[in-house]
Amino acid sequence: MADAPTIRHREDASRFEAALDGARGVLHYQRSGSGAAASLVIPAVVVDPAIAGRGVAGALTRAALDWARSEGLRVEPVCPYVAAWMQRHPEYAALRA
């Protein structure tokens, strides 16, 4: 079984970071709005080519969406990868802004 990436939330830098075999991936986000209208805008997920195709982008996306859910945030998936990932995982459909 392949190793899973280590995911770290860097809220101070508005990103989730993944580390795997000395390489990394990053999911960038911005919080928008406040109260019931608060949302998480995800413009990009970037993964080092050395670990591409090993589930790193998906692990970053899942971590960000789980965090958004726990914070009561809606998600605006500007990043095409995140938008497609959300379509493939209907359990996250209610988060879409």
CATH number for the domain that contains residue 63: 3.40.630.30
Local mean pLDDT, 10-residue blocks, the chain (97 residues)? 85 97 97 87 97 96 97 96 97 95
Count Cβ atoms below 10 Å from residue 76 Cβ, excluding itself.
Answer: 20
Domain for residue 64, yes or no?
yes
Listed residue (7, 22, 1, 20) closest to 65, CA to CA: 7
Confidence (pLDDT) at 57: 97
The domain tally of the chain equals 1
Confidence (pLDDT) at 95: 96
Confidence (pLDDT) at 2: 62
Confidence (pLDDT) at 83: 97
Domain for residue 38, yes or no?
yes
